[in-house]
Amino acid sequence: MKHPIEQIHHTLAHVMAAAVQQLYPDTKFGIGPIIDNGFYYDFDSSHKFTEADFMDIEKRMRQIIQDKIAVEHIYKPADEAIDENKASGQIYKVELLEEIKRGDRLAITDVDIEQQKDGNISFYKIGEFSDLCRGPHVENTGDLPKDGFKLTHVAGAYWRGNEKNKMMARIYAVAFESKDELEKYFSLLEEAKKRDHKKIGKDLGLFTFSPLVGAGLPLLLPNGERVKKELEDFIRSEKEKRGYSFVAIPHIAKTDLYVKSGHMGKYDAMMPVMTDEEGDTYVMKAMNCPHHFEIYNSQPHSYRDLPYRIAENTTVYRNEKSGELSGLTRVKAITQDDTHHFVRHDQIESEIEMILGLMTTVFNIFDFNNFRVQISVRDPNNKEKYFGDNELWDRSEGILIDAAKKWGKPYTVQDGEAAFYGPKIDIMVKDSIGREWQLTTVQLDFNQPENFDMTYIAQDGSKQRPAVLHVAILGSIERFMGILIEHYAGALPTWLSPIQASVIPISDKQKDFAQKIYDELIKAGTRTKLNDANETLGKRIRADEMQKIPYLLIVGDKEIEAEAVAVRQRGKGDLGQIAINKLISQLQEEIKDKK
């Protein structure tokens, strides 16, 4: 019987826990949620888990699968479940059960636990192992792929993510429906390692880090700064074509601004407070929207002015945990291509359509053509943490779902992933090796216009509230750079390459002619280097190939005579002699067309 992959992941997490219980009977169990491509489970045991244990655990898991044990769904009264888990020393399960009994909302991410309406608690049982869980699961362990999973690594994890609690051993696993899919996954991992932007970024001289500057704060080197500037200029140009006005805001603001917007209550852990000599408190901005709201409110607006689109490529600062930082893809200083659209309510659908069109144009340039839409809505069980009334939220969520349907791309709805002020669309994009990345975000907001008393004069002379769309096409530009480096395996297209051509004289005899070609290419607006280092020709060519420069222009006596260069194009090899004027036109055409 075929089961959804989420059920396979979920049941395999229980099977792993059952195997650990059999092998290490004194183990105390934490939680075991599903994650992308697999699952993990947290264990507290006198045994120190290492990867050397994985073979035994996997072998026992396969035995449990081979034994075709029924996966039983049972219900227990809370008191009975608590007593049983106390008797077996399962202190972490007791803690969760007591919270469920009190009716508390569990402060654990991704844990499928619920108290039934009749007061009984849902458990799933595999042999002697049972775990509180909502499910669903497969009906029998024999339905699981015995060769479709693999334990990958073990890490320390504080119980409930609180560093004051005990450190547990978290064993991670990946799982798929078949052995073939598992092998494809590991092949993809090997390819991803080769494309790791942290290694390529270092090799290509794009960025570096300094312990004195701090983790999560990359220092862009000249090559990296050039790539970033090209991205910023490109997205600015595309937005200006569509009527966006660019603004500039300071990087700090009084806490009053963020208290008014509600961010201080929600994001204060990311916003350390500074106090000036007059006693006013300030924070470094973790978001731009409140500043942009103040820009909107700085002048009156008519219905004719809308949509009013303001944009900015600017940095925000997030106090990310050190364990979550990674190269350019997770940093503390984040440059966003941030925009805010102030629109009449009757313009919302057409504005979203325009935004999705802009996004498609931009992503086509980078060969990102495989999109999926994720719509993030409220947590239906915790609506009190969101601004605004239910009617506004229902309307907002409905508009975004309708927009996704109209666009015609596949979409899913994610409960509990909305921002506190409104639902959002996230565009998930697949790269050249099939990995999925979240890029563009479109958030619809009816609440902050009320909060900041934003108005415009309607056609009948009355004051009306606009809606706001919070939009970032590239998102974090640092993160987008990291994604592109891996997407292209470092071989950025010509227009984006920090060095587009390298002129390489064969010997000192051709240096003057090589200098002339270099000067002409620079004058033509290309980013060119002159590689006349005191090395052999072969070494210089190899060095430039390692730097993934799109065009290598070799100059010898024959080229001087022909007023040409011998061209080696990245990915195509030797193109033979090309006249200098023709080469310049070719380069300019590629740069203009974003090739």
48 labelled catalytic = no
CB 205 within 8 A of CB 271: no
CB 139 within 8 A of CB 72: no
For the stretch 141-159, what's the b/e string if a residue is b when 16 or more beta carbons lie within 10 angstroms of its beta carbon?
Answer: bbbbbbebbbbbebeebeb
**Torsion sign (Cα): 226, 232, 235, 240:** negative
Of 76, 318, 344, 540, the active-site residue reads: 318
Report the helix count and the strand count for the chain, using DSSP H and E. 18, 28
Of 195, 197, 378, 424, the active-site residue reads: 424
Report the phi/psi class of residue 402: left, alpha or beta, with left for phi > 0 and alpha for psi in -120 to 50. alpha
592 labelled catalytic = no
Output the six-digit token pair for 10. Answer: 């979920």
Of 7, 115, 336, 443, the active-site residue reads: 336
Q: Is 126 exposed, middle or buried (0-12, 13-18, 19+ CB in 10 A)?
A: buried
Which is nearest to 454 in space by CA: 435, 469, 474? 469
For the stretch 537-576, what's the b/e string if a residue is b when 16 or more beta carbons lie within 10 angstroms of its beta carbon?
Answer: eeebbeebeebbbbbbbbbbeebbeeebbbbbebeeeeee
The edge-to-edge listing of strands for the beta sheet with 120-126 is 71-77, 120-126, 129-132
340 labelled catalytic = yes
459 labelled catalytic = no
Separation of alpha carbons 127 and 149, rounded Å: 20
Output the six-digit token pair for 442. Answer: 């479109």
Separation of alpha carbons 222 and 205, rounded Å: 8
Q: Report the residue count for the chain.
A: 595
Which is nearest to 386 in space by CA: 413, 418, 414? 418
* DSSP string for residues in 438-458: EEEEEEEESHHHHHTT--EE-
10 labelled catalytic = no
Of 42, 44, 337, 338, the active-site residue reads: 338
3-state helix, strand, coil in the chain (%, to 5): 40, 25, 35
Outline where 160-315 has alpha helix (H).
179-194, 197-203, 222-241, 255-261, 263-267, 289-297
Of 93, 150, 195, 470, the active-site residue reads: 470
Separation of alpha carbons 155 and 415, rounded Å: 29
Separation of alpha carbons 98 and 131, rounded Å: 15
Which is nearest to 200 in space by CA: 498, 527, 585? 498
Of 289, 347, 487, 547, the active-site residue reads: 289
Of 340, 527, 540, 548, the active-site residue reads: 340
195 labelled catalytic = no
424 labelled catalytic = yes
Catalytic positions are 289, 318, 336, 338, 340, 424, 470
